[in-house]
């Protein structure tokens, strides 16, 4: 059992646990003090008590996810870390992988909730900058040959000093080059249709890099709408909580064989109104949102450059007729 004051030894030095700052069934995140010049870091460990209760196959999967995350972050060049959380150290504790990561200022979900509670919202220019930064982060993940598959507010960390965001948590990465279908992974309430609904008659999920673009669209809507998630995402999340992976079949039965709409007319109207009130080009923003949230992967943007160009149109603001 981890407690404040415990010492964790990794490859580059020792870390003293100070306080737990986040946790899930899979992992625990601690603020820790480093004795060799890093200052405070975020120490990410596998949740040992939950690991002890898990089935052997699940335990192996959790350990492999942490090891894969370390390998991915170690493969990055320094200039690739601009919008991806930096790995400072790694090693093993009690035989399980541990990561020492740069300590940032909380996640996007908590930030949006705090703003909403104070009656405020993310300024449009900053929102567009953040979506652009996440687009760049995803481009780096894709460039290195991976599908990210878990873009959600909790995995987007804020650097308050620079008003920037960084992508974190790479345990769900799947190799992109092969393009093969895989077992279920990710977070049900932040997934593209092909990541939640398996291939016909099977239990495999045929995702690709455009699955990450759907999640980027869901995040774009979430922040613009002041912390309101897409109804499609909420429906998938609720179905998964009630029926696990069987929730996909349940939603299809409820829809007479059709999955829920990925973007409803009322959501389009709310989104466009928020963008217009903030001084943005509502038409260009809505075109980007529709493209990102297309139900068919082939209808989504093909690459990061296409998304960047569409973002530039939104930044330009409403076009005034000559």
Nearest of 137, 106, 150, 115 to residue 228 by alpha carbon: 115
Distance from C-alpha of 203 to C-alpha of 197, rounded to nearest angstrom: 9
pLDDT of 313 reads 93
The token duo for 262 is 């990925």
How does pLDDT run across 155-173, given as a tens digit for each residue?
A: 999 998 888 999 999 988 8
Say how far apart CA 71 and CA 87 lie, in whole Å: 10
Closest CA to 150 of 196, 110, 112: 196
Find out whether 43 and 29 touch, Cβ atoms under 8 Å.
yes
pLDDT value at residue 90: 95
Superfamily of domain 7-102: Phosphorylase Kinase; domain 1 (3.30.200.20)
List of residues 6+ apart from 21 with CB closer than 8 A: 29, 30, 31, 42
Q: Given this model, what pLDDT does residue 79 score?
A: 83
Q: What is residue 301's predicted lDDT score, i.e. its pLDDT?
A: 98
The vertex-285 CA angle with 141 and 80, nearest 5°, equals 20
- Can you tell me the distance from the alpha carbon of 260 to that of 247, in angstroms, rounded to the nearest whole number? 12
Answer for the pair 44, 99: CB distance below 8 angstroms, yes or no: yes
User: Would you tell me how many other CB atoms lie within 10 Å of the CB of residue 57?
Assistant: 8
Using CA atoms, how far residue 259 sits from 61, 184, 198, 232, 256, in Å, is 30, 18, 12, 9, 8
DSSP E strand stretches across the chain = 7-9, 14-23, 27-34, 40-46, 87-93, 96-102, 146-147, 156-159, 164-167, 174-175
What lies within 8 Å, CB to CB, of 191 at 6+ separation is 211, 214, 215, 233, 236
Q: Is the separation of the CB atoms in 74 and 144 below 8 Å?
A: no
Q: Can you give the pLDDT at residue 181?
A: 84
Mapped onto helix, strand or coil, the DSSP state of residue 22 is strand
pLDDT at 119: 93
Residue 99, classified by CB atoms within 10 Å of its CB into exposed (0-12), middle (13-18) or buried (19+), is: buried
Q: Which residues pair with 3 in a beta bridge?
A: none
Tokens 């296409």 belong to 306
For residue 1 the two structure tokens come to 């059992």
Question: CATH for 108-315?
Answer: 1.10.510.10
Query: Rounded to whole angstroms, how far apart are CA atoms 62 and 47?
Result: 9
Q: For residue 38, what pLDDT is reported?
A: 65
Per-residue pLDDT of the chain (322 residues; tens, 9 = 90+): 788 889 999 999 999 999 999 877 678 899 999 877 668 999 999 887 777 766 777 777 777 888 889 999 999 988 888 899 999 999 999 888 999 999 999 999 999 999 999 999 999 999 999 999 999 999 999 999 999 999 999 999 999 888 899 999 998 888 887 667 888 999 999 999 999 999 987 889 999 999 999 999 999 999 999 999 999 999 999 999 999 999 999 999 999 999 999 999 999 999 999 999 998 999 999 999 999 999 999 999 999 999 999 999 998 877 655 4
């Amino acid at each position: 059992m981890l407690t404040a004051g415990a010492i964790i030894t990794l490859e580059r030095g020792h870390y003293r646990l100070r306080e737990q700052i986040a946790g899930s069934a899979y992992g625990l995140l601690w603020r820790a003090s480093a004795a060799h010049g890093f200052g405070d870091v975020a120490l990410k460990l596998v949740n040992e008590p939950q690991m002890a209760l898990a089935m052997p196959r699940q335990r192996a999967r959790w350990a492999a996810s942490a090891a894969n995350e370390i390998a991915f972050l170690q493969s990055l060049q320094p200039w690739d870390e601009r919008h991806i959380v930096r790995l400072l150290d790694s090693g093993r504790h009690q035989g399980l992988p541990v990561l020492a990561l740069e300590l940032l200022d909380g996640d996007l979900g908590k930030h949006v909730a705090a703003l909403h509670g104070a009656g405020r919202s993310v300024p449009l220019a900053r929102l567009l900058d953040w979506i652009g930064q996440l687009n760049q982060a995803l481009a780096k993940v894709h460039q290195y040959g991976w599908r990210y598959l878990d873009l959600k507010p909790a995995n987007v960390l804020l650097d308050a000093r620079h008003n920037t965001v960084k992508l974190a948590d790479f345990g769900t990465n799947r190799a992109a080059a092969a393009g093969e279908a895989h077992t279920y992974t990710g977070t049900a309430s932040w997934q593209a249709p092909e990541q939640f609904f398996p291939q016909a008659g099977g239990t495999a999920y045929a995702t690709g890099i455009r699955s990450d673009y759907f999640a980027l669209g869901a995040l774009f809507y979430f922040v613009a709408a002041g912390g309101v998630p897409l109804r499609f995402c909420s429906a998938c999340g609720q179905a998964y909580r009630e029926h696990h992976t069987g929730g996909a079949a349940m939603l299809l039965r409820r829809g007479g064989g059709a999955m829920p709409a990925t973007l409803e007319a009322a959501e389009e109207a709310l989104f466009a109104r928020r963008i217009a009130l903030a001084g943005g080009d509502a038409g260009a923003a809505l075109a980007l949102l529709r493209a990102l949230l297309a139900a068919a992967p082939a209808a989504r943007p093909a690459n990061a450059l296409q998304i960047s160009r569409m973002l530039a149109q939104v930044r330009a603001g409403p076009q005034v007729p000559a």
